Amino acid sequence: MSMCKRYLSLACSLTLAASSLVGCGSKDSSSTAGDTVQNTGTFTVSMAELQSQMGAGWNYGNTLEANSGGTPSETAWGNPEASQEMVDAVKAAGFNTIRVPVSYLDKIDDSNGYKVDEAWLNRVQEVVDYCYKDDMFVIINVHGDGYNSINGGWFLCNGDDQDYIREKYAALWKQIAEKFSGYDEHLIFESMNEEFDGVTYSGQPDPDYYANIMDYNQIFVDTVRASGGNNSHRWLLMPGWNTDIDQTTDPAYGFHLPDDPNNTAGENRMIVSVHCYAPWDYAGQEDYGTWLWGKRGQEIVEINKAPNINLARWGNEDYIVGQFQKLKETFVDKGYPVIVGEFGCIDKTPANSGIPNQIAENRVYYDGYIAGTAAKNGCIPVYWDNGYNGTYGFGLFDRTDCSQTQPEIISTIVKAVADKDPDAGHEVRVKKEVVKNDSVHAYIGLQTKVYTFRNTYNDAQYGGATEWFNTLVKWEGDDATDAGAVFSDADITADGTYTVSVSGYDFSADSDGLNMLFVSTDFQYAPAMKISDVVLKVDDTEIPIDDPLVMADSSNNLYIELVNIYNTDLAPLDFAMPTDSFSVTFTISGTSSVLG
């Protein structure tokens, strides 16, 4: 998935202390890497059987491909570690395929023959084994290494030293292939993710860069086949330019499948990889300009006698049908399966506080339409779940307790694929109660440059549900201590002006600046809410904030950001660290959506 699609951008700003997140079951301690149940054997799956056996798929996204500063880390983007319990929940929901994106980055030692860190490769194997224990298909790839936007990205079609890239890529896949050579055909290797130059999303790609991608796919096939074992007949998945449907189906752009002379299966074992987030302004663009789509969207407009300004203007059902017909005619009909490795639609239910359930129903319909149309045309759809629930999230599950957060979407995708029915979600209705309160609350939060901090209200380790929340936490060695400050929070009972503050601590003696300063809340964000007249007070100095960043946090709660050194889009503030206090005063309107 490209980095412009949401990757828990609040993770670094909301996870202020270095700690591992705990989800619904941690790493399976009952087995070690290699202790598998059914990873070896003679299971094969033919072209004729592949689609029906793989069924509906789900991405374990923003986990093994997550990284911090070029170092892969499962929890770096705010998700818990992968677990057997989470895989069990996905299987129980009706999915039979899991795609596990994987980044390697600095886990590859260039100075030692490109050797991959053994512990990291063992961890990838553990997660693969979770899927095998549930008799699921599992796809692993080389994911974030191919992003121009990632620190440490090296696998670049527009890179200067292509000899180095090819040599390193071959060495990486040789080690992966050897690690899994005994695994049967439930395991599928995917050569790469959205490989492109980071600029050309549409139109004609640079032919030399596209040629490099085709060379990578050939290196991938040759390397895997040469590793022996079950890899001699394993299904191999590979994309064209940026996994784009048009730039893969039209030969004028440069896509072609590799030669595979060493395949011992007796039939084709290559799969084409594409992604589908069309139309992007509805499915993935993080704003409220477009939040209705297709036939169900038009019905919602008519039911509510509303203007159609928020209805997608392109990419409707006819467009989707046309895209998948191209895939069928170009590949499926010629004996090459197609996996739609990513599709989905972000949550825009807060776009209109009067009809959130109808907006959710439109999302159900869209996801079902993509999945059903894919299946109807012989393609295998795999939903993109990044673990993020709330505004602009793709999440279908809560990874902290393995529960379903979007049961209507899940059941619709599974049914749409099983029945090959694009209309599977058209009649689905969502009935989620909108909870209102007599009062809600706002809280000041901050982090100094030495990590003295107060985290957000919804932080799992230091937030409102913990004993630390009313403490200015200061680290001394390996221990968290109380710095002795006092917090004043706001009890919001109506539209009006409120102040939150922290006082009684010499911040100037602590460090020479802040990493973060924000206001978090315990109530849901809605576009109808407006924040204005924001003033930061540093001791006795008042600083008006003309353009504060107001958004939904990772729990879909209202969040106001004033300082964040991790967010380069936020204008820096000029102030001296106070000897006693910070306070933030703001005016809020539109609270009727949460107060009642």
Q: What is the DSSP string of 36-87?
A: -SS-BS-----HHHHHHHH-SEEE-TTTTT-EETTEE-TTTTSPPPP-HHHH
Q: What is the DSSP string of 131-159?
A: HHHTT-EEEEE--GGG-TTSTT----TT-
Q: Among this protein's residues, is 342 annotated catalytic?
A: yes
Instruction: Measure the CA–CA gap between 402 and 387, rounded to whole angstroms.
Output: 11
Task: Say if residues 64 and 88 touch (Cβ distance below 8 Å).
Answer: no
Annotated catalytic residue within 126, 194, 195, 408: 194
- Measure Cα distances from 416 to 57, 258, 369 in Å: 12, 32, 7
Task: Say if residues 66 and 75 touch (Cβ distance below 8 Å).
Answer: yes
Task: Say if residues 217 and 208 touch (Cβ distance below 8 Å).
Answer: no
Instruction: Measure the CA–CA gap between 376 and 418, rounded to whole angstroms.
Output: 10
Q: What is the DSSP letter of 3?
A: T
Annotated catalytic residue within 185, 190, 342, 408: 342
Helical (H) or strand (E) element with 530:
strand 530-538
Instruction: Measure the CA–CA gap between 578 and 511, rounded to whole angstroms.
Output: 10
Q: Burial-class residue 362 by CB neighbours within 10 Å (0-12, 13-18, 19+).
A: buried
Angle formed by the axes of helices 356-376 and 317-330, nearest 10°: 20
Instruction: Measure the CA–CA gap between 524 and 151, rounded to whole angstroms.
Output: 34
Residues 6 or more apart from 509 whose CB is under 8 A from it?
A: 579
484 sits in the region (left: phi over 0; alpha: psi -120 to 50; else beta) called left
Q: Among this protein's residues, is 433 annotated catalytic?
A: no
101 preceded by cis ω (within 30°)? no
- What residues form DSSP beta bridges with 475? 480
Question: Helix (H, G, I), strand (E, B), or coil: what is residue 344?
Answer: coil
Task: Say if residues 14 and 459 touch (Cβ distance below 8 Å).
Answer: yes
- Tell me whether strands 338-343 and 379-383 are parallel, antiparallel or unpaired: parallel
Rounding to the nearest 10 degrees, give the CA dihedral for residues 411, 418, 46, 381: -50
Q: Burial-class residue 43 by CB neighbours within 10 Å (0-12, 13-18, 19+).
A: middle
Tokens matching residue 302? 């008519």
Helical (H) or strand (E) element with 90:
helix 84-92
Task: Say if residues 106 and 68 touch (Cβ distance below 8 Å).
Answer: no
- The residues annotated as belonging to the active site are 194, 342
